Amino acid sequence: MPPEDTTVRVLFVCTGNTCRSPLAVAALLAELGEDAARVQVSSAGTAAAEGQSANPLSREVAAADGLDLSKHRSRRAVAPLVRSADFVFVMDHLHRVAIEALGANRDRVHVLSEYPAPGEPGMPVSDPFGASKEAYEECWRRIRHHVRRIAPVVRQALNARNAS
């Protein structure tokens, strides 16, 4: 009998998978520390072109905090990917609609700024693509802030899965 899978799968979704969602992956892995090895954290985009590097400004703001996005390659969100995730964190409501249209379980799809409830919907994670370095820095600050709020929920799911 194969061993039970105790991995928690977290998927971050934005539009092009070159700015926000790669930053969110790096932020969550850093926030989880030692627990990161037991969580599969990935990203995708609703309109991503396959194989693109993270945006240079995303790489720069992450590097300023010691995080490396150089290995990131973009990919499109597809049904098997979103259906297999335990948590899908999207950046806005349009992403949520697109992900649910791919068959994701509604209970597993959350707007990053709104989870866990009541969240902070007044602090959305806007797309910095094509904007200034300051816009990327603000995006990064918001992502880090929201990831600090969701990390305990991910840990709780990990602990529950490993206890069963």
> Is 149 designated active site?
no
- The Cα angle at residue 25 between residues 81 and 100, in degrees rounded to 5: 35
> Exactly one of 76, 83, 108, 127 is catalytic; which is it?
127
> Exactly one of 19, 20, 92, 142 is catalytic; which is it?
20
> Is 148 designated active site?
no
> Is 20 designated active site?
yes
User: Which structure tokens are listed for 104?
Assistant: 């994701």
* CA distances, 133 to each of 62, 114, 126, 139, 154 (Å): 12, 25, 14, 10, 30
State the DSSP H helix or E strand holding residue 41, giving kind and residue range, or none if neither: strand 39-45
Q: Enumerate the active-site residues.
A: 14, 20, 127
